[in-house]
Structure 1
Amino acid sequence: MPREWDAEGTVLITGGTGALGALTARHLVARGSRDLLLLSRGGPAAPGAEELLSELRAAGAHAEVVACDITDAEALAEAVRGRRITSVFHVAGVLDDGVATTLTPDRVRPVLAAKATAARLLHELLPDAREFVLYSSVSAALGTPGQGNYAAANAYLDALARHRHTRGLPALSLGWGPWDVGAGMTGALTEADRERAARSGLPLTTAGTGTALLDAAMAGADPAVLPGAVDVAGFTGREEVPHLLRGLVRGPRRAAASPAGEVSFAGRLRALPAGERALTVLERVRAEAAAVLGFPTADAVEKDRPFKELGFDSLTAVELRNRLGAVTGVRLPATLVFDHPTPEALAERLGAELVPPEPGAADALTAGLDALEASPDALSPGERSRLRVRLSALLARWADDQAGQEPDDTEDRDADLAAATEEDIFALIDSELESP
């Protein structure tokens, strides 16, 4: 059955002094709630807490802010003791974004605790709550770059809501996308941030839209929903499309489907003189980095300045990886920006991938010797004899070239060969060719 709004009893809001907690508190009071308990780590000393309380009380509500570590069972039990809690809004959360290879236990544990541990404790402490609303994240359903720990924590909220629902208990998990409320976990957003969100396929949720979606979700019967808009155009052409959107989003364009005459980026590079290739790749890297950061031109991206100093974080680093992958057609690792920390280093890596350097003379000779070592029986006795003569002449010429020079430490073996007699050289060749 659809839920009905319950304005009686005490409404408990975790993260109550944060941006989303405060937004929720104001909205609930506007809808008729008159008794609110706001929990946060900072309590009354949290930034903006005093102003929020004054605003809620001016609207006719009795509101209290209590300092509480909601991941601590005893502290949470003490905070709710003696209160008639009829509605729970678990809004609190912690972010610690990073690519999966950087997510140590110390970076995962706090994120899980703020969401999952606290939700479990609320579930156990308040079995009679008539409303149990969990602020989850779209990251749990679609996946968002650099948020593996946050996605896991919110997936727990979605699962808990469904678990409560199957037991006949009230539950609603809201998989919110990114918000634009000027503070909180997303912080104060710039215009570049908003443009980047629009490109991502997950437009920002404003305060007015968010509260309207909250009302609609609470009036429905589903225990887990994804409130908000999804712009499939933002996902179109990506190599990795979230499973839920694969029926709506067109995958990456195959090379065979390219318009006639279209030349790939790698093809254009190969057509350039060798001296221009590195500059071309570097300029493309700088242009894509500027687009990700919202800079008006690539001139703001210095070639030897670390990406971190330019303003990149784990999320923007993954976006740059995705953009360069789409341009070049090369599958690139999520750690690309971290492994190659400047535009110049990254361009060098891409250039070597797109147009591998041609092997030099030394590489070809080394490859030939490697082949001889790998197949010592490949030469007939006559071929070995002719090879001995040629190698002998070559080593003698090298010895003449190095006459009077002091060999450095890295040339010890060459010096030994130069000093060897012809008999020593023949013996060495025979042993190398005949060794297993």
Structure 2
Amino acid sequence: LGARVARHLAGRHGVRRLVLAGRRGPDAPGAERLRADLTALGAEAEIVACDVADRAALAALLTAHPVDSVVHTAGVLDDGLITSLTPARLDTVLRPKADAAWHLHELTLDRGLAHFVLFSSAAGTIDASGQGNYAAANVFLDALAAHRAALGLPATSLAWGLWSGGGMGAGLDAADAQRIGRSGIGALDPDEALDLFDAAVTGTGHALVPVRLDTAALRRRGDDLPAVLRTLAGVTARPDHGDRPRTLGERLAALPAADHEHTVLEAVRTEVAAVLGHAGPAAVEPRRAFTELGFDSLAAVELRN
């Protein structure tokens, strides 16, 4: 997303000098193409190798390349169940987001910045099954923006939903995309997202959630819908359980014992098909292990829920 934003700043807003910092700097894939694009747009682009989470390295960078605005877009995923998140896995995700943001905050306090923009994620606000480390990192960014705003400093934290064709959404497979779609969270077109970026940066809010919501899909989630989304989805009260479908237990209680195994198997196959994005339960081979069917830890969480 950093490359998209850089091109946007140069092309639409006429920014003439950009310092682009990343761990690989000019050796990063696409770096030279990005430099050429920015040069063609009339901007001077300095692509620098710097681990922004390394305070000393960042301090040296800011001394050599002074800036008047900051846009922090870094992000790393290492998804898993909370019980599997070791200190190292937490550090992998928090360091490039939270540590780097805090260093940027402290090292620019005396620079009179015009803008300080943090790319957070809706995972910290709405729904983050299997992403406890990532959610925590993004909540930190939102809190940092609130802290800066309280100090009278420029601050905008954008808790993005998915961008189509870029960012964290670029590596999603079909099953992941379908799973997210069923949750009611759609993908933003990049041009639409950049329009929202402009509106946010020129507005007054310090913590915003630019995300596309499918309200019909949200309503279908029923009791599973997070409280923060209930009003947005037009669900103001819990569903009337008098009209709800019978639970599996209730269905089994009404059937002879001889039918129980088949009924449970079909219920599981139906849910597995939904989680994996298959057309129906017939696509789920009942004698294969979940891992052979394509389950990962996030799919397992959805099936359990």
TM-score by length of 1: 0.64
Matched, 1:133 2:117: yes
SS of equivalent to 1:142 = coil
SS in 1 for 2:223: coil
* Partner Cα distance (2:119, 2:246) in 1: 47
Q: In structure 2, what is the equivalent of residue 21 of structure 1?
A: 2
Q: Secondary structure at the match of 1:267?
A: helix
Q: Which deviations, in whole Å up to 9, do the C-alpha atoms of 1:342-394 show, x marking residues without a partner?
A: xxxxxxxxxxxxxxxxxxxxxxxxxxxxxxxxxxxxxxxxxxxxxxxxxxxxx
SS in 1 for 2:125: helix
Is structure 2 residue 193 aligned with structure 1 residue 210? yes
Q: How many Å separate the matches in 2 of 1:277 and 1:319? A: 24
* Larger RCO (CA within 8 A; separation ≥ 6): 2
- Whole-angstrom distance in 1 between the partners of 2:145 and 2:68: 17
Q: 1:335 corresponds to which residue?
A: none
What letter matches 2:4 in structure 1? L
Match of 1:78 in 2: 60
CA contact (8 A) 1:213 1:228 kept: no
Aligned equivalent of 1:88: 70
Letter matched to residue 64 of structure 2? G
Alignment of 1:248-259 (within 5 A): 248-249=234-235, 253=239, 255=241, 257-258=242-243
Contact 1:286 1:298 (8 Å CA) reproduced: yes
Cα contact 1:93–1:114 (8 A) shared by 2? yes
Q: Is the 8 A contact 2:146 2:155 kept in 1?
A: yes
In 2, Cα distance between equivalents of 1:227 and 1:314: 27
Q: Report the counterpart of residue 14 of structure 2 in structure 1.
A: 32
The equivalent residue for 1:274 is 257
Shift of 1:250: 5.0
Kept in 2, the 8 Å contact 1:289–1:298? The answer is yes
CA distance in 1, matches of 2:29, 2:260: 53
* Structure 2: distance between partners of 1:116 and 1:264: 43
User: Residue 187 and residue 251 in structure 1: after superposition, are their counterparts in 2 closer, same or farther (change >3 A)?
Assistant: farther
Per the TM alignment, residue 239 of structure 1 is displaced from its structure 2 partner at its CA by 3.1
* Matching residue of 2:48: 66
Counterpart of 1:70 in 2: which secondary structure?
coil
The alignment status of 1:46 with 2:32, answered yes or no, reads no
Q: Give how far 1:166 is off.
A: 1.4
Kindly provide the amino acid, as one letter, of the partner of residue 29 in structure 1. A
Aligned equivalents of 1:209, 1:161: Cα separation in 2: 23
Q: Which moved more, 1:37-46 or 1:244-253?
A: 244-253
Alpha-carbon distance in structure 2 between the residues aligned to 1:44 and 1:69: 13
Candidates 154, 165, 179, aligned match of 1:170: 154
Q: Show structure 2 runs of 5+ residues with no match.
A: none
Among 127, 133, 139, the alignment partner of 1:143 is 127
Deviations 1:12-42 (A, max 9, x none): xxxxxxxx11111111111211211111122
Say whether residues 1:239 and 2:223 are aligned partners.
Answer: yes
- Whole-Å Cα distance in 2 between the matches of residues 136 and 89 of structure 1? 11
Letter in 1 for 2:6: A
CA distance in 2, matches of 1:206, 1:36: 24
Do structure 1's residue 152 and structure 2's residue 136 form an aligned pair? yes
What is the CA–CA distance in structure 2 between the aligned matches of 1:56 and 1:299, rounded to whole Å? 52
Structure 1, unaligned runs of 5 or more = 1-19, 323-436
Structure 1 pair 309–80 and aligned structure 2 pair: CA distance change class (3 A): farther
The one-letter amino acid of 1:154's match is N
Q: Give the number of equivalent residue pairs.
A: 299
Which residue identity does 1:206 align to in structure 2?
A: D
Residue deviations 1:37-59, cap 9 Å, x none?
11112222222222222222222
Residue 319 in 1 paired to residue 302 in 2? Answer: yes
Contact 1:197-1:204 at 8 Å conserved across structures: no
Cα distance in 2 for partners of 1:178, 1:302 equals: 32
1:110 maps onto 2:89 in alignment = no
The amino acid that maps onto 1:134 is: L
Is the partner of 2:120 in helix, strand or coil? strand
The change in CA–CA distance for 1:91 and 1:103 in structure 2 (over 3 A counts) is: same
Q: Secondary structure, in 3 states, of the residue corresponding to 2:154?
A: coil
- SS in structure 2 at match of 1:204: strand
Q: Tell me the CA shift for residue 240 of structure 1.
A: 4.2
Residue 228 (str. 1) matches residue 211 (str. 2): yes
Distance apart, 1:289 and its partner CA? 1.4
8 Å contact kept, 1:239–1:251 = no
Q: Would the aligned equivalents of 2:188 and 2:211 in 1 still touch at CA under 8 Å?
A: yes
Greater Cα radius of gyration, structure 1 or 2: 1
* Structure 1 position 178, deviation (Å): 1.9
Q: Percent identity?
A: 49
Q: TM-score, with normalisation over the residues of structure 2?
A: 0.89
